[in-house]
Amino acid sequence: MTEKWKELLKAPQGQRKVFILLAVLGIALVLLSGNGTAGSKSKSETTTARDYDAYVADLEGRLQKTVASMDGVGTCKVMITLEKSDENVYATNSESKRDADSGSSKEDYVLYDQDSGESPLLLSAYLPNVQGVAVVCTGGDDPAVREKITTTVASLFGIPTNRISVSKLKGE
């Protein structure tokens, strides 16, 4: 058997075949040894970014329709900024031990089985809060219109009026 391998390695075509075979085996081992977390993590991050953008776009669209329907506003554009990304709260198991001299505590996440493996148990998911709003509209130079828009935005998003900017739309 070793004689056949030696002959195969000496021939130029044999060396090429062995190299290709080793390359294919190496690739197969890399693919089989990976558990797929790197690919799914980046996919999850991409999905989260897309969800975040969709959330902001939805808020902006709804606010734009609301403001545009107000008397004296006219054409308007809206931009919303958020404080931070969403926040997830996961279930935990807490364990505390007390000795006469010292104490210790341990906290672990509660896991449950999913098709793709174990995942932490999600208790609550909070959407990000609105940090600031800019409204640019045709009637933005009228103080009464500015006051109506500012009051409406403050009450809708629960933010102080100093985080709301209302301006006149350029060229209108």
* Residue extents of the structural domains in the chain: 70-86+127-172, 88-126
Spatial separation of the C-alpha atoms in residues 140 and 142, rounded to whole Å: 6
- pTM (2 decimals)? 0.57
Classify domain 70-86+127-172 by CATH architecture. 2-Layer Sandwich (3.30)
CA nearest neighbour of 80 among 92, 99, 64 = 64
Contact partners, residue 59, CB within 8 Å, separation at least 6: 80, 130
Closest-CA residue to 133 (of 113, 110, 157, 111)? 157
Q: pLDDT, tens digit, for every residue of 84-135? A: 777 778 877 777 777 667 777 777 777 777 777 777 877 887 788 889 999 9
